[in-house]
Amino acid sequence: MMVDNQAAGGSDRPPDEHRGDPSGWKRILAAGVIAVLITTACAGSPDSSGGRQELLVSAAASLTQAFQQMEAGFERAYPETDVVLNLAGSSLLREQILSGAPVGVFASANPAIMAQVAEAGHLAGSYEVFALNHMTLAVPKGNPGGVTGLHDLARDELLVGLCIATVPCGDFAHRVLAHAGVQPAVDTEEPNVRALLTKVEASELDVAVVYVTDTVASGGVDAIPIPDDQNVLAEYPIAVVSGSPHPTIAADFVAFVLSAEGRGILERHGFSLP
Amino acid sequence: MSTPQQGNGHGSDRRRRLRTPPPLFILIPAAIGLVLFVVPVVGLLIGVPWGDLVALLSTEAVADTLRLSLLSSLAAAAISLVLGVPIAWVLARCRFPGRSVVRGLVLLPLVLPPVVGGAALLFALGRRGVIGAPLARATGLTLPFSTWGVVVAVTFVAMPLMVVTVEGALRNLDSRFERAAETLGASRWIVLRQVTLPMIGPSLVAGTALTWARALGEFGATLTFAGNLPGRTQTLPLAIFVALESDRDTAIALSLVMVTVSLVVLVSLRDHWWRRR
């Protein structure tokens, strides 16, 4: 039976090779058609957006909502520009810029990270602080864990989340906890503040240390304030990145963020102004 | 008895065919495609801080991460053998309405972004999830932020590879051998153990290895569902991701470990994987 089977398999092969030539050409033709389709599709996309110039803005995850409005406002004022937001943890954004990503504007949640980018020679000029933020405790709606203050983060039975210490929100959280002398019983260290907040919104975490602006932006969590004497001030610097494909547009975007309209957007999202 | 001989015949046939050089319209795109796979590995190798490698990898944190990764990926491979092979059997052998829907559901984790898979797991098995909430009430077990959560996440993402591999093997299997064994009086359990499983042995090995390798490399679902805590839920890919933001040398050293382990598995797998083709 086995022999039969194998023999049948073997005898299938020569005709297969025989047909090789014509079907091979058909395949090449098909591949060519696909390649043409792909290239025309790719070439078509800038046209479909009206030949607009693309400005890549790398902004800290905690700026998400505010910078989405910045994007809309800037594109209204500069209709020939297409702002593309690249939102992630500031240190990941730094790595991208240091490895040569075509970023026009960098808005970081931490001056130290901005300073590292500046030292590496990746900024076109100097940087400027454009927004301030504070930390707060975020708990699920209704506060099921009964959290009242920072000391609750030491409770083992609560699910406690922080940002990882290498991103600003984690760094600030650790400084706040150190000020308060609290040793937290951490259950997860999330790579950015959005991921952390999502888990509080889903009630998977009982408490997390996030930015004030995050609790303003999210309708799904309650905020338990951290007293001023234990809190820290987060400064957000912004700068034009050197080697940007469109340096003047990048400078225009920075000016827009610092303008009255930009400041209004920031205040609406819970930021303080310097 | 006739199998190895036939296998050899195929092998020499294949070798003979390899001696004729491939035509240029095959060779050139193949070479271009290959560059895409080779260049990142070369880039990684260039970045490896060879002098500090041992020091970078012999910390307790790295040992924790390695232990957790091996544990969770081996668990995923074992669970996939126990649960995935029967799924493959049902999909290959049984005709029932909605079979293609079931197959689609099983294969979904292969094409879904792992982060989506992780979020779906969270909604289902999280502390407030459809199944997670009653589970937590009944047993006190909450999967997110626990090592069990890691096992669930990596199994979810990796098990489809076992199902695909084994289902393909079962379909190509000549069922006359099994029927012959049955007519000789073997029970269905004996047929499965002594005829079916040995005949698809290479695919079982391949499926296990692929599942394990995929589980070892799982990132998105683990991070979304199980979180990131060193020693409890931080697997090798998560440690690499975290280190990339602060300590690039450690990140590259850990990446080298992943590449080496995965490559060794895939290369040694080659014989098992191709023998039946």
pLDDT tens digits, one per residue of B87-111: 999 999 888 999 999 999 999 999 9
Verify whether the Cβ–Cβ distance B145 to A95 is below 8 Å. Answer: no
Contacts of B177 in chain A (CB under 8 A): 1
Q: Does B233 touch chain A (CB under 8 A)?
A: yes
Distances (CA, A) of B206 to B160, B210, B275: 13, 6, 11
The pLDDT value given to residue A62: 83
Task: Work out the pLDDT band at B5, boundaries 50, 70, 90.
Answer: very low
Round to whole Å and give the CA distance between B137 and B123: 16
- In this prediction, residue B55 carries a pLDDT of 87
Beta carbons of B228 and A191 less than 8 Å apart: yes
Residue B193 DSSP one-character state:
I
Q: Is B140 left (phi over 0), alpha (psi -120 to 50) or beta?
A: left
> Of B180, B172, B179, whose CA–CA distance to B199 is shortest?
B172
Q: How far, in Å, are A21, A25, A37, B23 from residue A30 at the CA level? A: 14, 9, 11, 17
Query: With contact defined as beta carbons under 8 Å apart, do A201 and A218 qualify?
Result: yes
Q: Which residues of A touch B244 (CB under 8 A)?
A: 92, 95
Axis-axis angle for helices A64-77, A260-268 (nearest 10): 150
Of A31, A186, A203, the CB nearest to B229: A186
pTM of the model: 0.72
**CA of A249, closest CA in chain B: separation in Å?**
29
Buried b (16+ CB within 10 A) or exposed e, A135-156: bbbbbbeeeebebeebebbebe
pLDDT score recorded for residue A45: 38
Alpha-carbon span A170 to A62, nearest angstrom: 12
φ, ψ of residue A134 to 5 degrees: the values are: -125, 170
Question: Could you say which of B13, B229, B246 has the minimum Cβ distance to residue A91?
Answer: B246
At residue A152, the pLDDT reads 93
Chain A residues in contact with chain B using a Cβ-Cβ cutoff of 8 Å: 1-3, 5-6, 10, 24, 28, 31, 89, 91-92, 95, 159, 161, 164, 166-167, 186-191, 195, 199, 202-204
Query: Average pLDDT, stretch B160-167?
Result: 95
Nearest Cβ partner of B128 from A161, A186, A203?
A203
Alpha carbon of B98: minimum distance to chain A alpha carbons (Å): 32
Half-sphere exposure of B69 (CA within 13 A, CB side): 25
B25 touches chain A (CB under 8 A): yes
The pLDDT value recorded for residue B14 is 54
Q: Does the beta carbon of B30 lie under 8 angstroms from any beta carbon of chain A?
A: no
Q: What residue in B sits closest to A29 (Cα-Cα)?
A: B25
Predicted confidence (pLDDT) per residue in B39-55, tens digit: 999 988 998 888 888 88
Q: Residue A218's pLDDT is what?
A: 81
Closest-CA residue of chain B to A7: B6
Nearest chain A residue to B243, by CA: A166
Cβ-proximal residues to B206 (8 Å cutoff; 6+ apart), any chain: B165, B269, B272, B273
CA distances from residue A2 to A6, B32, B89, B190, B272 in whole angstroms, order as listed: 6, 40, 22, 21, 19
Q: What is the mean pLDDT of chain B?
A: 86
pLDDT of residue B271: 61
pLDDT < 70 regions, chain A:
1-50
DSSP B84: I
Residue in B closest to A205 by C-alpha: B127
Contact between A67 and A194 under an 8 Å Cβ cutoff? The reply is no
ipTM over 0.95: no
Q: How confident is the model at residue B16 (pLDDT cuts 50, 70, 90)?
A: low
- The neighbour count for residue B182, using CB atoms within 10 Å, is 14
Q: Which residue of B has its CA nearest to A202?
A: B128
Q: Can you give the pLDDT at residue B12?
A: 52
Model confidence pLDDT, tens digit, residues B113-134: 988 999 999 889 988 888 988 8
